[in-house]
A and B are shown apart, each in its own frame.
Chain A
Amino acid sequence: MKNILQSLILTLSFSLVAPYCLAIDSQTLPDVKPGIVSMTTKDPDKRVGYSMGDIVEREVVLTIQAPYKLIETSLPIVGYEKRYRGKLIGVNLQAIEHTKQAQKDYTTHKIKLSYQIFVSTVVAKNIALGPEYIHLINTQNKKDIVKYRIPILNVSTSPLAIFGQVKVENNMSPFLPPPLLSAEKEYRWLKVASGIFVLSLLALIYILGQRAWLPRMGGRFATTFSAIKKLPDNDDGIKQAISKSHLAFNQTAGFAIFNDNLNDFLRQHPNFMPLKTEIEQFFGLSRQVYFEPGATHGVGNATMPWLLNFVRRCRDCERGLLPSPLKAKV
């Protein structure tokens, strides 16, 4: 009976002392030399407002240079309740996920820690998660064991309910900005509207620059066609129509076109080739009207309708289309 009691006392004493032995070990180990371990953490955006049962997840990525290696048994133990100066602080390590990726010169450890809050306070209160100490061992010298400290993460808890009159201003956390309404939908519409605006602006610049709604519209012959339509069907109108048509030809070619360089123009603008005969007739008409009243041209007596038709067909050629068939009336 005495033996049983002694072994019970011994077991109880050991179980009470063991954690302290581990802690003592970590504290007594030397710190790892700078440059051996590099660390990044992915902490939660929310740092405040935690209450009973909430889980705070933290991801730590450690890169440990060779020849040091992580002693995986030194990783935090699930279920371990955090203490501060020996007193429980109400935070429990609820889960840990550990993956590693070994390279020739270093090993990357991804450690995901999930802490669960087990505290309820009547006022907002800070809680420190961590620090966690991990141990590294030099694979070339087994006696060389060092520690590395994963820094703490400060969060704060909030009461589930407020008792009595509380001045909210006094209890406002500097960590928590005023909650904002989601404007994601409005931002999306703003982007769409901005896109439409920019496209409209480009279209406007194009229209003003080209003086045309669509590419190939608003060309020389299109303008001439519009102008000729307004001219009267008399000698003066015909003279003006011929002059404007000549101008359209000259502007299209980039040089003054006459009978003697008409073929040069057709070579440079083959889309006008289907109208070769009519263009020659037009130059014959121009010759008769402007230079030689007795000259023949083969246009016929309905000069103005013929001119309108001719310029319309030239407009088709200008747009890269096959000229529309001759019409009796324009």
Chain B
Amino acid sequence: MSDSQLVDWRNHALNLESEVNKVVVGQHTPIRLITTSIFARGHVLLEGDVGVGKTTLLRAFTRGIGGGYQRIEGTIDLMPNDLVYHTYLGEDGKPHVSPGPLLMSGENLSVFFFNEINRARPQVHSLLLRVMAERSLSAFNAEHYFPHMIVFADRNQVEKEETFEIPSAARDRFMMEIPIVVPNDDDIMQALVFDTKFHNVDALVETVKPDILQFDELNAFSSIIQNNIEASDTLKKYALNLWKATKNPLDYGVKVSGVDMNRLVLAGASPRGMSMMLRAARVNAWLNGRAAVLPDDIHAVFHSTVAHRLVFSPVYEMRRTEIAREMLTGIINAVAAP
């Protein structure tokens, strides 16, 4: 693929971002990160309160990239088979089976949104994680493939009742964890409340230009990005140092206030996590019109690709978000390149 095609795709990506930014206001950083994950082909865990626009955001992206969009709500009685099929009695009085959300769009499924994933049981997590990892599913004596699927899962960190915390191994399957917060800007807040165009979500999403990208070409193009954006030896060394620092932050002089750093980290970022971080950094470099990854590209995705992979001592789990943010900021400040 020539450089001009890279530029063309970049323009399409920026166009998609621009379209989504019109619909979901005040969320530039999450939108950039979601764009990055789409081109890096990584699944995303969204973190945020209810009613902040997560569903609207995903529907807008799905409309822009094309393909099928499916959604399921996590509940305590949800079973794995509910993702695959559901049964009902038809008008003829006989039992019928119809495809569940995972199978409904077939291979064209591009976005699968699992709302409140931590309300579902571990059995459901298990199935979803397999689908995420292998992008395939065995059902009805056949193997079903979802080569273009990206899973977006949402969890509410505040509510803990009747929830099943996603284990660290499962969190590691997600490329990013992106916080979605209500914008602080008064004008945006006022618009969200009083501007009538935000009241009808369906009509709002319809305003996004459809099929800006071709969802079934994203896998191939993602490989092209990864192969074309360079990472120098210095950058590799820098990424390696960052990785080491996530395992032993004290070795790099990183401290978090009110935390015993000797006891904090049980496990740093995984090799898969660091590989995903570099994939995302390459996409970020491409989105910024660069031919090589800079430390700045790693910084842009460092928190969202690494924070949810860190395994802390149970005593610090309740403060995970705050501690992870402070620790990772400390690591970026402590590790130099070159």
Question: Which positions in A face B, CB cutoff 8 Å?
Answer: 239, 242-243, 246-247, 250, 255-256, 258-260, 286-287, 290-295
Q: Does B86 contact A (CB under 8 A)?
A: no
Which of B110-118, B210-218, B229-237, B261-269 binds A? B229-237
Offer 6 A-B interface pairs, CB within 8 angstroms, sorted by A: A258-B294, A258-B337, A287-B294, A290-B232, A290-B235, A293-B292
Alpha-carbon distance between A250 and B335 when the two chains are bound, in angstroms:
10
Q: Contact: A256 with B336, CB < 8 Å? A: yes
Q: Contact: A259 with B335, CB < 8 Å? A: no
- With A256-B333, A258-B295, A259-B296 known as contacts, the answer to whether A292 contacts B338 (CB < 8 A) is no
Q: Contact: A291 with B334, CB < 8 Å? A: no
What are the residues of chain A within 8 A of B295 when measuring CB–CB? 258, 291
Alpha-carbon distance between A135 and B118 when the two chains are bound, in angstroms:
109
Q: Does B130 contact A (CB under 8 A)?
A: no
Residue of A nearest to B295 (CB): A258
Question: Interface on chain B toward A: helix, strand, loop, or mixed SS?
Answer: mixed
Residue of B nearest to A250 (CB): B336
Chain B nearest CB from A264 CB (Å) reads 10
Chain B nearest CB from A14 CB (Å) reads 104
Q: Does B166 contact A (CB under 8 A)?
A: no
By Cβ-Cβ distance, the 5 closest A-B pairs, closest first, are: A255-B333, A292-B292, A256-B336, A290-B234, A260-B296
Q: Does B293 contact A (CB under 8 A)?
A: yes
What are the residues of chain A within 8 A of B232 when measuring CB–CB? 290-292
Q: Does B332 contact A (CB under 8 A)?
A: yes
Q: Contact: B299 with A260, CB < 8 Å? A: yes
Residue of B nearest to A249 (CB): B336
Count, A-B residue pairs, CB within 8 A = 50
Alpha-carbon distance between A210 and B338 when the two chains are bound, in angstroms:
27
Further contacts, 17 of them, CB under 8 A, given A258-B299, A259-B294, A260-B299:
A239-B338, A246-B336, A247-B336, A255-B333, A256-B332, A256-B337, A258-B294, A259-B296, A260-B296, A260-B300, A286-B338, A290-B337, A291-B234, A291-B235, A291-B292, A291-B293, A295-B290
Residue of B nearest to A260 (CB): B296
Alpha-carbon distance between A252 and B295 when the two chains are bound, in angstroms:
20
Q: Does B291 contact A (CB under 8 A)?
A: yes
Alpha-carbon distance between A120 and B337 when the two chains are bound, in angstroms:
99
Chain A nearest CB from B284 CB (Å) reads 11
What are the residues of chain B within 8 A of A239 when measuring CB–CB? 338
Q: Contact: A258 with B296, CB < 8 Å? A: yes
Alpha-carbon distance between A292 and B235 when the two chains are bound, in angstroms:
10
What are the residues of chain B within 8 A of A286 when measuring CB–CB? 338
Chain A nearest CB from B83 CB (Å) reads 40
What are the residues of chain B within 8 A of A259 when measuring CB–CB? 294, 296
- With A291-B234, A292-B230 known as contacts, the answer to whether A256 contacts B335 (CB < 8 A) is yes
Most chain B CB atoms below 10 A, which of A239, A250, A255: A255
Alpha-carbon distance between A259 and B332 when the two chains are bound, in angstroms:
13
Write the B222-249 contact mask toward A (1 if CB under 8 angstroms, else 0): 0000000010101100000000000000
Residue of A nearest to B336 (CB): A256
Chain B nearest CB from A256 CB (Å) reads 4
Alpha-carbon distance between A97 and B70 when the two chains are bound, in angstroms:
119
What are the residues of chain A within 8 A of B296 when measuring CB–CB? 258-260
List residues 320-338 of chain B with CB under 8 A from any CB of chain A.
Answer: 332-338
List residues 91-124 of chain B with CB under 8 A from any CB of chain A.
Answer: none
Chain B nearest CB from A283 CB (Å) reads 10
Residue of A nearest to B294 (CB): A291
What are the residues of chain A within 8 A of B291 when measuring CB–CB? 292, 294
Q: Contact: A290 with B336, CB < 8 Å? A: no
Alpha-carbon distance between A242 and B337 when the two chains are bound, in angstroms:
11
Alpha-carbon distance between A302 and B338 when the two chains are bound, in angstroms:
21
What are the residues of chain B within 8 A of A255 when measuring CB–CB? 333-334
Contact residue among B293, B334, B338 (Cβ-Cβ distance under 8 Å from A242): B338
Chain A nearest CB from B98 CB (Å) reads 50
What are the residues of chain A within 8 A of B336 when measuring CB–CB? 246-247, 250, 256
Write the B187-212 contact mask toward A (1 if CB under 8 angstroms, else 0): 00000000000000000000000000
Alpha-carbon distance between A294 and B332 when the two chains are bound, in angstroms:
25
Chain B nearest CB from A310 CB (Å) reads 16
Alpha-carbon distance between A30 and B314 when the two chains are bound, in angstroms:
96
Residue of A nearest to B233 (CB): A290
What are the residues of chain B within 8 A of A246 when measuring CB–CB? 336, 338
Alpha-carbon distance between A287 and B335 when the two chains are bound, in angstroms:
17
What are the residues of chain B within 8 A of A294 when measuring CB–CB? 291-292
What are the residues of chain A within 8 A of B335 when measuring CB–CB? 256
What are the residues of chain A within 8 A of B337 when measuring CB–CB? 256, 258, 290
Residue of A nearest to B231 (CB): A291
Residue of B nearest to A287 (CB): B294
Alpha-carbon distance between A102 and B77 when the two chains are bound, in angstroms:
107
What are the residues of chain B within 8 A of A293 when measuring CB–CB? 292
Chain B nearest CB from A296 CB (Å) reads 12
Alpha-carbon distance between A95 and B292 when the two chains are bound, in angstroms:
107
Q: Contact: B333 with A290, CB < 8 Å? A: no
Most chain A CB atoms below 10 A, which of B230, B291, B338: B338
Contact residue among A256, A260, A287, A295 (Cβ-Cβ distance under 8 Å from B334): A256
Contact residue among B290, B299, B338 (Cβ-Cβ distance under 8 Å from A243): B338
Q: Contact: B332 with A292, CB < 8 Å? A: no
Chain A nearest CB from B133 CB (Å) reads 32
Chain B nearest CB from A262 CB (Å) reads 10
